[in-house]
């Protein structure tokens, strides 16, 4: 399991992109369609992913297999079941304190 992204939902991708790039000075790493932009975080391999996709803010962990990871941890609450993303799947889960986190494979 590797921390790869910090997911930050937004209702206005343009305003968020302007804030993170112009105000905070982060560099855009990639875009996916009109709903997701990832920004490089200084001195880190972790990226800030800003998206209009639904979900709570939280860390996103790269795992070998979302399906296998969920099967291996049946007591972890699933908020949003695995859904397809380009090249893999993602699921939203809850930690014991009720904080969302994500697992994805690609």
pLDDT in tens, 56-106: 999 999 999 999 999 999 999 999 999 999 899 999 999 999 999 999 999
pTM (2 decimals)?
0.92
Report pLDDT for 42: 95
Listed by start position, the domains of the chain span 2-105
CATH class for the domain made up of 2-105:
alpha beta
* Percent of the chain with pLDDT strictly greater than 70: 100
Query: Using only C-alpha atoms, what is the Rg of the chain?
Result: 14
Q: What per-residue confidence (pLDDT) applies to 66?
A: 98
Predicted confidence (pLDDT) per residue in 2-56, tens digit: 999 999 999 999 999 999 999 999 999 999 999 999 999 999 999 999 999 999 9
Spatial distance between the Cα atoms of 5 and 47, rounded to a whole number of angstroms: 5
């Amino acid at each position: 399991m590797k921390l790869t992204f910090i997911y930050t939902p937004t209702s206005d991708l343009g305003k968020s992109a302007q804030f993170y790039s112009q105000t905070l000075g982060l560099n855009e790493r990639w875009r996916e369609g009109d709903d997701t932009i990832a920004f490089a975080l200084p001195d880190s391999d972790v990226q800030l992913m800003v998206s209009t996709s639904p979900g709570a803010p939280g860390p996103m962990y790269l795992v070998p297999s979302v399906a296998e990871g969920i099967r291996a941890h049946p007591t972890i609450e699933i908020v949003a079941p695995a859904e397809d993303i380009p090249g893999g799947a993602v699921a939203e889960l809850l930690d014991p304190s009720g904080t969302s986190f994500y697992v994805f494979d690609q």
